[in-house]
Amino acid sequence: MSGEAGYAKPLPTVTHEDREFWAAARQHRFVLPECRACGHVWFPPYASCPACLSFDRGWTEASGRGTVWGFTIMRQPYIPSFEPELPYNVVLVELEEGPMVYSNLVSIDNDDIACGLAVEAVFEDVTDKITLIKFRPS
Amino acid sequence: MSDREFAGKTAIVGIGSTDFAQLYRSTDPERTGESLATEAIAAAIADAGLEKSQIDGLITGGLPHYEPVAYRTGLTDVRFVVDYPGAGRMCAMALMHAATAVHHGLADYVVLFNSVVFRSQGVKFGAQGQGLLYDTIYGMASPGAQYSLAFTRYQAEYGGTEEQLGAIPVAIRSHARMTPGAIMQQEMAIDDYLAARYIAQPLRLFDYCLINDGAVAYVVTTAERARDLAHPPVLIAGTAGRANFREWYVDLGFWDEACRSMKADLFDPLGVTTDDIDCLQVYDNFSVSVLWGLEGFGFAPQGQGLEWVQNGRIALGGELPINTSGGMLSESYLQGWNQHAEAVRQLRGQAGERQVPDCDWSLYWCLSALPGASLLCRDGLL
């Protein structure tokens, strides 16, 4: 899967706020920003803590486990590069650590997706630089 | 922000709209939003029975820049100007601002409008995503997909079927068919709703609002001045807002807390209850927004909204008619502004065959990242 030169779908615009997150994902690690001042864990990786505004940010290893809060099955093209995959799922996963993340579920039929489903992170190397975190039933 | 002293001290005294259906039929890529806004403004000033020279405040919405409409309308020397982004969530906020301005004497007569050229310019809502939670990377595109995702959760928590949800767009369509200028005039039964394609499953085509061109304007002044004008004043009993910013857009409690908070702001100072409300003119960007607002504002018991909307309860002639001109699902996507224009017609008793009998109170809400609400009533009730 690594280094697919022809990956046509949108990629993240990496910034100084989230480059450590993407660098970790590249190493197949799922990390979350954690405040060294107050202990708050948040996502996406803003440079500062939304709870206490401290810029003393550390990182904590996420378990990769979570549950499906909700899902939708995309049936109409919006993003052209996703059109060949229609119908595809998008899920909102509630991580064990608290934050919510969008993702796709793999290794499951769309008909079998349900709210409350327990899932775990998997890593998909889509380009030489970017690895996406997706989920599968756990 | 609502207090007893402010309630009913300001009023909507003029409304103006473009012909949505005509604009829908005749798309024109060279159409300008400034021209549409001017048409609505002229109609609103005339409806109020005012001279243009009396307008001394301007709140613009939906356009890239605020000056061009001032040139077209000659409102070039007004003493109060504010520009709002063209977003439906700003509808109640703009009204709040106008009412506050005239109440405190920043202006005597404020004209405010929203103008959109979506259909003619081929605007699509979705491909760019919200850009907040790496959404497009995963193919999460369009607000509809986000409301759809929340509806799967709602169904998991409370049950309910897609067919039950269809009662909302079906009732609202029946109202559009009685509204001159409404875009969707074709009869729609529940089978027609269910036969339409999924967009983001479980939401179907007719769970989505229209995308069209048009403008709506109104004139706001003090209740005292309003009583000398052309029509019975429609009082602004209150406005409310509560941010509900979530990177994933939808609220995990289906906007229940936001609705309760806005309801308390609007209803409690006045002693108004849900029983007093004669019609709802609400932000139906998606059918589910109506459902969740009904529960959040306490019209329907939590988790039972889908049952509650069955059997004609929300259609004209029923207990609580909703979006009596067809809303954004079937009249026009003017982002809450056409709902306010209809509320004014209803409270003046000028809604023709759509008239809700003895219509005293009308409530608006918008469930989005920035929920807003407004409560309007006939003169003499506050």
With respect to residue A44, please indicate whether it lies within any of the assigned structural domains: yes
Cβ(B194)–Cβ(B163) below 8 Å: yes
pLDDT digits (tens, 9 = 90+) for B289-329: 999 999 999 999 999 999 999 999 999 999 999 999 999 99
* Number of domains within chain A: 1
Which residues in chain B have their CB less than 8 angstroms from residue A69's CB? 153, 252
Within 8 A by CB and 6+ apart from B125, the residues are B142, B143, B144, B211
Q: Cα(A82)–Cα(A85) distance, rounded to whole angstroms?
A: 6
**What CATH number is associated with residue A60?**
2.40.50
Chain-chain contact of B153 with A115 (C-beta, under 8 angstroms): yes
ipTM of the complex: 0.96
pLDDT digits (tens, 9 = 90+) for A16-31: 999 999 999 999 999 9
Chain-centre distance of CA B371, in angstroms? 11
Q: Where are the domains of chain B?
A: 10-122+210-378
Chain A nearest C-alpha distance from B140 (Å): 6
Residue B141 in this model has a pLDDT that exceeds 50: yes
In a 10 Å sphere around its CB, with 0-12 CB exposed, 13-18 middle and 19+ buried, how is residue B55 labelled? buried
- Give CA angle at B58 (B54, B62), nearest 5°: 145
Length of chain B measured in residues: 382
Mean pLDDT in chain B? 96
Catalytic annotation present for B134:
no
- Give CA angle at B211 (B208, B213), nearest 5°: 155
- Given this model, what pLDDT does residue B352 score? 97
Residue B3 in this model has a pLDDT that exceeds 90: no
Residue B2 in this model has a pLDDT that exceeds 60: no
**Amino acid identity, position A69:** W
DSSP B319: S
With respect to residue A109, please indicate whether it lies within any of the assigned structural domains: yes
- Given this model, what pLDDT does residue B54 score? 98
| pLDDT band for position B126 (cuts 50, 70, 90) | confident
Catalytic annotation present for B109:
no
Residue with tokens 């690895």: A131
Q: Cα(B349)–Cα(B345) distance, rounded to whole angstroms?
A: 6
Chain-centre distance of CA A62, in angstroms? 11
- Given this model, what pLDDT does residue A3 score? 45
Q: Mean pLDDT, to the nearest integer, of A49-67? A: 98
Chain-chain contact of A75 with B200 (C-beta, under 8 angstroms): yes
3-state helix, strand and coil shares in percent for chain B, rounded to the nearest 5: 40, 20, 45
Cβ(B328)–Cβ(B284) below 8 Å: yes
- List the single best residue of B125, B149, B151, B204 to mutate versus A (max A Cβ within 10 A): B149
With respect to residue A105, please indicate whether it lies within any of the assigned structural domains: yes
- List the single best residue of A93, A102, A135 to mutate versus B (max B Cβ within 10 A): A102
Cβ(A70)–Cβ(A62) below 8 Å: no
Question: Which two structure tokens, joined as six digits, stand for B168?
Answer: 């909302």
pLDDT digits (tens, 9 = 90+) for A85-132: 999 999 999 999 999 999 999 999 999 999 999 999 999 999 999 999
With respect to residue A3, please indicate whether it lies within any of the assigned structural domains: no
Cβ(B232)–Cβ(B35) below 8 Å: no
**Amino acid identity, position B169:** P
With respect to residue A2, please indicate whether it lies within any of the assigned structural domains: no
Which residues in chain A have their CB less than 8 angstroms from residue B247's CB? 44, 100
Compute CA distances B233 → A103, B230, B321, B356, whole Å: 51, 9, 22, 17
- List the single best residue of B125, B128, B130, B138 to mutate versus A (max A Cβ within 10 A): B138
Q: Cα(B275)–Cα(A31) distance, rounded to whole angstroms?
A: 51
Residue B1 in this model has a pLDDT that exceeds 90: no
Which residue, among B20, B81, B79, B11, has the nearest Cα to B50 in the 3D structure?
B11
Kind plus residue range of the DSSP H or E element containing B42: helix B33-48
Of the candidates A10, A76, A103, the beta carbon closest to that of B199 is on A76
Q: Return the SS3 of B27.
A: coil
Chain-chain contact of A72 with B201 (C-beta, under 8 angstroms): yes
Q: Cα(B258)–Cα(B11) distance, rounded to whole angstroms?
A: 25
Chain-chain contact of A90 with B139 (C-beta, under 8 angstroms): yes
Q: Cα(B89)–Cα(B66) distance, rounded to whole angstroms?
A: 19
Q: Structurally, what CATH architecture does the domain formed by B10-122+210-378 represent?
A: 3-Layer(aba) Sandwich (3.40)
* Residue A60 domain boundaries: 19-137
Which residues in chain B have their CB less than 8 angstroms from residue A132's CB? 137-138
Residue with tokens 């009249």: B331
Residue A1 in this model has a pLDDT that exceeds 70: no
Q: Return the SS3 of B232.
A: coil
Question: Which two structure tokens, joined as six digits, stand for A16?
Answer: 């100084």
- Measured torsion, CA atoms of residues B283, B284, B286, B289, in degrees rounded to the nearest 10: 60
With respect to residue A72, please indicate whether it lies within any of the assigned structural domains: yes
| Phi-psi domain of B380 (left: phi exceeds 0; alpha: psi -120 through 50; beta: other) | left
A132 contact B CB<8A = yes
Chain-chain contact of B138 with A115 (C-beta, under 8 angstroms): no
Q: How many other CB atoms are found less than 10 A from the CB of residue A3?
A: 10
Q: Mean pLDDT, to the nearest integer, of B94-101? A: 98
- Given this model, what pLDDT does residue A5 score? 62
pLDDT digits (tens, 9 = 90+) for B239-297: 999 999 999 999 999 999 999 999 999 999 999 999 999 999 999 999 999 999 999 99
pLDDT digits (tens, 9 = 90+) for B337-373: 999 999 999 999 999 999 999 999 999 999 999 999 9
With respect to residue A1, please indicate whether it lies within any of the assigned structural domains: no
Q: Return the SS3 of B65.
A: coil
Beta strands in chain B (DSSP E): 10-17, 57-61, 80-84, 110-117, 198-201, 203-204, 213-222, 234-241, 279-280, 361-366, 372-378
Cβ(B150)–Cβ(B256) below 8 Å: no
